[in-house]
């Protein structure tokens, strides 16, 4: 019995630490990446992965109880609203005229003699 509790505790803390790692990587990526589209991608992907891992770890810590049910409901809500919000932000940026850079843009800049620093 004690071994099972210890294994569940270790597994839950591993999930919580992995989720925290993903959230920190996403925050660092949002801070360090060069353009809007890269930052949006870093924030959305790591946010979804981090939340899933954090909530799974917290569900293991709580055991099968009302708290776990609430955590699962929160997870479903965040799993639906996170990508939806990211899509809305990306669509608003695209409609407002912010276009992702393409390889054709780089080739045109190189042929015109522009030097990027």
Q: How many residues does the chain have?
A: 117
Contact 16, 57 (CB under 8 A): yes
Q: What is the pLDDT of residues 75-106, one digit of tens each?
A: 999 989 988 999 999 999 999 988 887 766 66
Read off the pTM. Answer: 0.76
Residue 1 has pLDDT above 80, yes or no: no
Q: What is the pLDDT of residues 30-61, one digit of tens each?
A: 899 888 988 998 888 888 889 999 999 999 99
Contact 49, 106 (CB under 8 A): no
**Which residues are CB-neighbours of 57 under 8 A, at least 6 positions away?**
11, 12, 13, 14, 15, 16, 17, 18, 19
Range scoring the smallest mean pLDDT among 12-26, 65-79, 94-108: 94-108
Domain segments of the chain: what residues? 2-111
Average of pLDDT values for 16-21?
95
Residue 110 has pLDDT above 60, yes or no: no
């Amino acid at each position: 019995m004690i071994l099972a509790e210890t294994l569940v505790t270790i597994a839950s803390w591993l999930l919580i630490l992995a989720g925290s790692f993903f959230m920190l990587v996403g925050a660092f990526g949002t801070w360090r990446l060069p353009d809007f589209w890269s930052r949006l991608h870093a924030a959305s992907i790591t946010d979804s992965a981090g939340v899933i891992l954090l909530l799974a770890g917290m569900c293991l810590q709580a055991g099968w109880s009302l708290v776990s049910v609430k955590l699962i409901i929160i997870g479903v809500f965040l799993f639906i609203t996170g990508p939806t919000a990211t899509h809305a932000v990306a669509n608003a940026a695209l409609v407002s005229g912010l276009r992702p850079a393409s390889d054709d843009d780089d080739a045109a800049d190189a042929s015109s003699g522009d030097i990027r620093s």
